[in-house]
Chain A
Amino acid sequence: DTEVTQTPKHLVMGMTNKKSLKCEQHMGHRAMYWYKQKAKKPPELMFVYSYEKLSINESVPSRFSPECPNSSLLNLHLHALQPEDSALYLCASSQDQVAAYNEQFFGPGTRLTVL
C-alpha cells in the first residue's frame, strides 16, 4: 500500500462541535504531518510526529489537538473552531523526519467547513 488515506472527505461543523480527522498510512513511515491549506495558497505546516512523538508544533491554537495512537495512524481533534479555520486539511507521511532527502506523501485531504 503506497497511499495515505484520510477520513472524512468533507466535514461541516458548528463552532461548538467536537470532531476528529483521521489519517492512515501503511508504508512503514515513521514521520507524519498535518498541514492546513487555504484556497490558492501552499500547504501550511501545523504538526509533525516523529516515531509517534510530537516533534513540531507550529504554534497552532489549542482548539486543534493532534494525536498519534500508533505508527500508522494520525488524528486531529477539533473543538470550538472558528469560521476562519475552514480549509483543506492535509495529512502527509515520510520515511523519517530527519532524513536528508525527505519525500513526503500527501493524503487527499479533508475539506472542513466551520459554520
Chain B
Amino acid sequence: GENVEQHPSTLSVQEGDSAVIKCTYSDSASNYFPWYKQELGKRPQLIIDIRSNVGEKKDQRIAVTLNKTAKHFSLHITETQPEDSAVYFCAAILSGTYKYIFGTGTRLKVLA
C-alpha cells in the first residue's frame, strides 16, 4: 500500500541550530503535504503545508521544500528554540480517498 517514510526518528540539536526532517512518499498523485507538531499530551497542530504546484514555502523560522520528481519533502526549522521540542509528523494526501498517510514521526529535542 501507499506509505510515507520519515527520518530521522529522533533528532537532538543545540538551541539556535537548524533542524531538518525528511519524508518520502510513494503515491505519485499526492498533491498536498502538511506537517504537524505534537507536544506531549497535546493535539497535533498544523505548522506548515505545501501544495504540489509549489517547490518551497516559508513561514518565519519554518520552511518546507518539495521535490515531486524524487517524491520527497523536507521540514527545515532555523534558529531552534526549546519550545520547538515536540514530535513532528509529515503527511501526504492519498489520491482518490483524500486520506492522510502519516509518516512515523520525528522526536525533536532542542537542548538549551
Contacts and interface: CB of A to CB of B under 8 A. Distances in A.
B32 A101 contact: yes
Interface string A14-48: 00000000000000000000000000111101001
Interface residues of B, number: 23
A101 to B, nearest CB: 5
Contacts of A103: 34, 46, 49
Contacts of A42: 89, 102-105
A104 to B, nearest CB: 7
A97 B96 CA distance: 11
Interface of B: 31-32, 34, 36, 42-46, 49, 51, 87, 89, 93, 97-100, 102-105, 107
Interface centre among B32, B43, B45, B49 (most CB of A within 10 A): B43
Given A41-B105, A42-B102, A108 B42 contact: yes
Interface of A: 40-43, 45, 48, 56, 90, 97-109
A52 B81 CA distance: 42
9 contacts: A42-B89, A43-B44, A43-B89, A43-B100, A48-B99, A90-B43, A101-B32, A104-B46, A106-B45
A45 to B, nearest CB: 6
The 10 closest A-B pairs by CB, nearest first: A42-B102, A106-B43, A101-B32, A108-B43, A106-B44, A42-B89, A98-B98, A102-B98, A97-B98, A42-B105
